[in-house]
Chain A
């Protein structure tokens, strides 16, 4: 669930952007930081990369031109931008070795009681799932990330600017596309 997806009046955002790293922006940063970081951590599977991408998402918010509409959904905007940054980062992985060096190390640290074989299988499945997400079109992958991170249809509709009644059909289509991508990757990598 996207907690604190509240809307802020645009003057607050504008104020935050016109002052030099102002206290208004600091309050906004502190409010949203943990949520953005955690989303990215789960998405890319690497804490250091997640921290870097989360900071970049806030830099983009800071640099964003003042909004013209009456209200600006900061939480939703950050969620969308952070997800895109995460997916871009996944697309840049290219090589499996790098992924194993980064996400694999993190998985071992988080493994708990599982044995090495279980960790490897789970890690491989997650790697394929992340790549499948990154291979999809932006709206579909955003939709899946939001839904499986726990967002309600209402929150998804607000963030992605969709009609609430269209979420079910779009979600199903996105899931089917995801499965297609996942299977294609599995076939591709099968020896």
Chain B
């Protein structure tokens, strides 16, 4: 004699997905029949609630048109993937992420045009921090209309001249120096768990004023007017190879930056020391990038006066301006490695761990030490122990 059917088997019977042996039992079992009525009643209620999922003949966008949209999307993703790869590397991930590039483009202006020269060339010698409201910048890097518009703008105006490639692992500082092409300094008192070298990258941008202005208008900042002179300006950015040493248990460099948040939570003792020679930016000498920098700062929520004041206090030709969230990070000047550095700390918030980043520039090399936890002293100690 077959055992009684389970409720799950009775559910399968309702869908005609049960074996004939079970059905024969059901025909002769009053108990199973009673339970089946109950299962049927439950199931009918769900069928009613989920009826909208049932297959229909909704008109779908024409496949060829959809294919064209898909191809366009792939093209944009390919062109922006270089940035994602670069941003995923520790030297950028832990510090300024996408904003570093924005800072380079928007805030690296040409106030010192040398007479007779066609281009201004800028190199970083120091770091300055500017607290800003990130709302506007998040809109640009998000998935919304504005984010897509920004991606389109970058994609259509950018020409990648050197792709960064994948990170290469190095055994020690000497090998890293050889691969990176500059003297990689690592503290002798600690042994890194990983050392990676990332190839350099280069790209050029041709500014499309109309599209950039449309972006500002879309963001509700039509009051910020880009100067006519920016239209068609060619800006070239060259990013040298960088090296990164990880201490503690750290993630391997990710090609996909979308995994960044999760991996950061999983490696609470990870400290990363990253170093990169100054990127160089060249722009037409007649381009008033001071004005663009001011517009960029106003876009982040600064008043016109505040932006003008900040712009006038910074030597834009040699300063990397790092925007930090005004409401969730604090910073202080510290002396490290024999020079002035900036220690940025982000207190724990909404489940995110406390983090710190120490940035400084020495002999044309930008250094960054990043980690989790409130003990930022270890970053200062590490910086001071560099040979």
Residue from the list B17, B52, B66, B75 in contact with A51, Cβ < 8 A? B66
- Cβ-defined partner of A153 (8 Å) among B6, B15, B49: B15
Which residues A120-173 have CB closer than 8 A to chain B?
125-126, 129, 133, 144-145, 147-150, 152-153, 167-173
Shortest B79–chain A CB gap in Å is 12
* B71 / chain A contacts, CB cutoff of 8 Å: 21
B349 within 8 A of A: no
- The segment from A36-44, A67-75, A94-102, A111-119 that touches chain B is A36-44
* With contact pairs A126-B52, A148-B53 given, residues A29 and B11 touching in the complex (Cβ less than 8 Å): no
The interface centre, meaning the residue of B9, B11, B39, B45 with most chain A CB atoms within 10 A of its CB, is: B11
Does B60 contact A37, Cβ atoms closer than 8 Å? yes
- The size of the chain B interface, using a CB distance under 8 A, is 39
Chain B residues within 8 Å of A9, by CB: none
Closest-CB distance, B234 to chain A (whole angstroms):
27
Chain A, residue nearest B50 (CB):
A148
Bound Cα distance A155, B9 (Å): 18
B1 within 8 A of A: no
Chain B residues, CB < 8 A from A168: 8-13, 15, 17-18
Q: How far is the CA of A26 from the CA of B70 in the complex (A)?
A: 10
Is A59 a contact of B53 with CB atoms below 8 Å?
Answer: no
Determine the main DSSP class of A at the interface with B: helix
Interface size on A, residues (CB 8 A): 45
Query: Complex Cα distance A153/B53, Å?
Result: 16
Residue of A nearest to B46 (CB): A175
A62–B39 CA distance with the chains assembled, in angstroms: 42
Known: A1-B55, A178-B46. Contact between A169 and B77, CB under 8 A? no
Decide if B55 touches A38 in the complex (CB within 8 Å): yes
Cβ contact within 8 Å between B66 and A42: no
Tell me whether B50 and A179 are in contact (CB under 8 A).
no
Q: Which residue of A lies closest to B69 (CB)?
A: A55
Verify if B267 is at the interface (C-beta below 8 Å from A): no
Complex: A148 Cα to B45 Cα, angstroms: 12
Binary flags per residue of B61-105, CB closer than 8 Å to A gives 1, else 0: 101101101110111010000000000000000000000000000
Least distance between A183 CB and chain B CB atoms (Å): 11
Contact A172 B56 (CB under 8 A): no
Residue of B nearest to A2 (CB): B55
Shortest Cβ distance from B55 into A: residue:
A150
Q: A34-B60, A59-B70 are in contact. Are A179 and B11 (CB under 8 A)?
A: no
Q: Which residues of A contact B70 (CB under 8 A)?
A: 21, 29, 55, 58-59
Contact A149 B11 (CB under 8 A): no
Q: Are A33 and B11 in contact (CB under 8 A)?
A: no
Report yes or no: B54 in contact with A148, Cβ–Cβ below 8 A: yes
A172-B49 in contact (CB<8A) = no
> Is there an interface contact between A144 and B66, defined as CB atoms closer than 8 Å?
no
Quick check: is A45 within 8 A (CB to CB) of the other chain? yes
Find out whether the CB atom of A172 lies under 8 angstroms from the CB atom of B54.
no
A36 to chain B, nearest CB (A): 9
Is A7 interfacial (CB 8 A cutoff)?
no
Known contacts A1-B55, A58-B70, A179-B42: A38-B17 contact under CB 8 Å: no
- Select from chain B the residue with minimum beta-carbon distance to A3: B55
Q: Once the chains bind, are B66 and A169 in contact (CB under 8 Å)?
A: no
A170 touches B8 (CB 8 A): yes
- With the chains together, A175 CA to B75 CA distance in Å? 42
Q: Are B49 and A43 in contact (CB under 8 A)?
A: no
B381 contacts partner chain A, Cβ-Cβ < 8 Å: no
Q: Is the CB of B73 within 8 A of A42?
A: no
Known: A41-B58, A168-B18. A59 touches B77 (CB 8 A): yes
| 10 further interface pairs, Cβ-Cβ under 8 Å (given A21-B74, A63-B77) | A30-B64, A43-B53, A147-B15, A153-B15, A168-B17, A172-B42, A175-B42, A175-B43, A176-B42, A179-B46
A-B residue pairs, 9 tightest by C-beta: A169-B8, A168-B12, A172-B11, A148-B53, A148-B50, A34-B60, A37-B60, A168-B8, A153-B17
A-B contact pairs, 6 of them (CB 8 A): A30-B63, A34-B60, A41-B60, A42-B55, A178-B46, A179-B45
